[in-house]
Chains A and B, each alone.
Chain A
Amino acid sequence: MLQRASPFNVVSVALGLAFLYLPIIILVIYSFNASRLVTVWGGWSLAWYRELLQDVAIQQAAWISLRVAALSASVATILGTLAALSLTRLGAFRGRLLFSGMAYAPLVMPEVITGLSLLLLFVAIDADRGFWTVVIAHATLSMCFVTVIVQSRLVGFDRSLEEAAMDLGCPPFKTFLTVTLPLIAPAIAAGWMLAFSLSLDDLVIASFTTGPGATTLPIRIYSEVRLGVKPEINAICTIMIAVVAIGTIAASLIAKRGAARRERAALGAQV
C-alpha cells in the first residue's frame, strides 16, 4: 500500500509496539534491581546473576534444554523440508490428503492434546521416558512449522532454473543439490531457528513426555514461578531474551548480506 500513513496508523503501531515491549523491558530492568521487591527500586545490581551462577539445577536444566532444542530442531528440519518438497513437487500421490492434513495439524493442535497423546504412545510401546522422548515430541511439533516455512519458499521460486539445469543434462539429484537447495537454504535455516526456539520454549509437551533426569529449563522455571516472582527468574529470562535478540538480529543481518551478494552476482551476470 502506498497511501500515506495517517496519524491514526502511526498511533496504533506505536501503541501496539509499546504493548508488546513494555512488559519485557520492565522484566529486564527488574533483573538488575538490588531489592527483592518488585515495587522497590534498590539500585542497580548483578546480585541475581551471581546467584544464578551458583544454581546448579537451573544450569543443568538449561544444558538439557539446549541439547534437546538442537537435536529436535535438526530432526524437524530434515523431516519438515522433505515434507515441504513432497507437498510442492510430487503433485498427486496416494494418501496426499491425509499427509497434508497431518503436516499442518500440529500447528494449531492444543499442546495439552499433543502432549498427552505422545505420552500415551510412549507408555504403550513401553519406551523409557526422558531426554529422547522429549526430542521426538519436539521434533514432531516443530516439523510442521519448518514445512510451512520451506513450502512457502518453494512455492515462490522460479522453477525454470531447475528445468534449465535438467535440460542441460544435470541429473535430478544433482540439480536438487546445486540449484534447489541453495535457493531454499535461507528458509531451511529460518525453519531450524524457529524449531530451536519452539523447543526451548515448550513447557506443556515437555512436561508430559519427560522423565526422570530430563528436566528442561521451562519445566524448572515453571515450578519456580508457581511459587511467586523471584528476581533470579528475572535474571535467567533476561539472559534468554538477550540470546534470542542477538541470534535474530545476527540472522537477519546475515540474510541481508546474502541477499545483497546475490543481487550483485545477478547484476554481474547481466553485465
Chain B
Amino acid sequence: MTGEPENRWDARAIVLLPYLWLIVFFLAPFVIVFKISLSQTELAQPPYLPVFDIDGGWAGVIEFITQLSGDSYQLLFSDLIYLLSYLKSLQVAAISTMILLAIGYPFAYGIARAPRRLQPLLVMAVVLPFWTSFLIRVYAWINILQRDGLLNDVLMRLHIIDTPATWLSSDTAIYIGMVYSYLPFMVLPLYASLEKMDDSLLEAAADLGCPRWKTFWLVTLPLSSRGAAAGALLCFIPIVGEFVIPDLLGGSETLMIGQTLWTEFFSNRDWPVASAIAMTLLVLLLVPILFYERLQQRSLEGGR
C-alpha cells in the first residue's frame, strides 16, 4: 500500500496522549508514594522529610538518599494493629468473595437459562443498582440495620427476637454490605461466560446418559471457570482495600486496612506511614492484580 509509513506514524500518535496521561497521573504517583513511605514524619507542610530539592545538585541528591529511612515499614511490622488490619481485610475479602460466588452463581445461571428476550432486561436489572451511588446503597442498609431500624422491627413483630439485636457495627453488617455492593461485579462476568456456552455440549452429555448434576459438574462448571475467576478477582481485590463499607457499617474493634490508612492519613496526619501501608497493600495485591490483568487481556484481545 502506498503512503503506509506516514499512516503508521499518524496512527501511532494516538497512543501518546493516553500513555502520557497514565504515566503522569497513574505511574508517577506510585513512585512518589514509595518515596514518601521512606520519609519521616515532620511537623511541616508537606508533613514529611526529606523534601526532594532539585536545586541542591548532586550533593542534594546524596543528602536526600541518606535521609531516607525504613522506619515506617518497621512500624508496620512491629505494631500489631497494622498486621491485624491486613489479616482482617484479607479475611473479609475472602469470605465475602465466597458468599458472592455462592449467591452470584445461581443468580447468573438463572439469568442464562431465562428466555432469550428476557435476558437483556434481566442483565439491565442487575446493572441498574450499580449505576446508583455506592454510598446510597450502603446508606440504604443503615436504614434497615440500625437499632430502631426495619430488620429489628420486622423480627420483633414476628416474635423471632424480643429485644432489638445489634446488627449495625458488626462483621455481619460488613458482609451484608460487601455482598450487596459487589454482587453485580460477580454476576455479570459469570453470566457472560455461561451465556456463551454451547448448548450442544449439554445435549451431547444428556444423549450419552449423563445425569444433569454430573453434566453441570463436568461441563458447565469448568466452562464457566473463567467467568468465575474474573468475578472473584473483580470482587476480592477492591474489597481488600474497601473503606466506605466497613467505616459506615462495621464496628470499631478491628479495622480493615483501608480504614487504617484513612485514619493514619486524615486523623494522625502521618503521611509516611499511610504511604507505607499503601505500598504494602499494593505488594499484597500484586499477584491477584496481575492475574486479573491477564484474564482481561485474554478476553479483550482474543485468546492468546
A residues near B, CB below 8 A? 1-6, 8-13, 15-17, 19-21, 23-24, 26-27, 30, 37-39, 78-80, 82-83, 85-90, 93, 95, 99-113, 116-118, 120-121, 123-124, 136-137, 139-140, 143, 147-148, 151-152, 155, 172-173, 197, 200-204, 207-208, 218, 221-222, 225-226, 228-229, 233-234, 237, 240-241, 244-245, 247-248, 252
Contacts and interface: CB of A to CB of B under 8 A. Distances in A.
Interface of B: 7, 10-12, 14-15, 17-19, 21-23, 25-30, 32-33, 36, 46, 103, 106-107, 109-115, 122, 124-129, 131-137, 139-144, 146, 148-150, 153, 180, 183-184, 187, 194-195, 197, 199, 202, 233-234, 237-238, 240-244, 248, 258, 261-262, 265-266, 271, 274-275, 278, 281-282, 285, 289, 292-293, 296-297, 300-302
Contact of A222 (B27, B36, B122, B135): B135
Contact of B29 (A108, A121, A218, A248): A121
29 contacts: A1-B194, A2-B199, A5-B115, A9-B110, A12-B107, A12-B110, A17-B122, A21-B129, A38-B143, A38-B148, A79-B18, A82-B14, A90-B15, A93-B12, A99-B19, A99-B22, A109-B289, A110-B238, A117-B33, A140-B25, A143-B21, A147-B18, A172-B11, A225-B135, A225-B248, A240-B136, A241-B132, A248-B128, A248-B131
Pairs A-B, 3 closest by C-beta atoms: A110-B241, A117-B29, A16-B107
A120 B33 contact: yes
B275 A116 contact: yes
Contact of B129 (A2, A24, A252): A24
A13 B110 contact: yes
Contacts of B136: 24, 27, 221, 237, 240-241
B93 to A, nearest CB: 10
A17 B112 CA distance: 14
Contacts of A203: 134-135, 244
Contacts, number: 268
A140 B139 contact: no
Given A151-B300, A229-B142, A1 B112 contact: yes
A204 B278 CA distance: 14
Contacts of A151: 300
A121 B32 contact: yes
A222 to B, nearest CB: 6
A247 B133 CA distance: 14
A79 B241 contact: no
Contact of A155 (B127, B248, B302): B302
B241 A121 contact: no
A248 B17 contact: no
A234 to B, nearest CB: 7
A236 to B, nearest CB: 9
A32 to B, nearest CB: 13
Given A120-B36, A148-B300, A201-B134, A3 B202 contact: yes
A111 B241 contact: yes
Contacts of A80: 18
Contacts of A89: 11
A38 B152 CA distance: 11
A110 to B, nearest CB: 2
Contacts of A4: 113
B196 to A, nearest CB: 9
Nearest to B47: A123
Given A1-B197, A5-B114, A27 B21 contact: no
Interface centre among B113, B141, B258, B266 (most CB of A within 10 A): B113
B210 to A, nearest CB: 14
Contacts of B297: 100, 104
Nearest to B295: A104
Contact of A23 (B141, B244, B248): B141
A38 B150 contact: yes
B148 A37 contact: yes
Contact of B301 (A23, A143, A155, A172): A155
A258 B18 CA distance: 30
A237 B139 contact: yes
Contacts of A13: 107, 110-111, 114, 122
Given A16-B103, A90-B12, A112-B278, A1 B113 contact: yes
B183 A16 contact: yes
A9 to B, nearest CB: 4
Nearest to A98: B27
A116 B202 contact: no
B275 A102 contact: no
Contacts of B28: 121
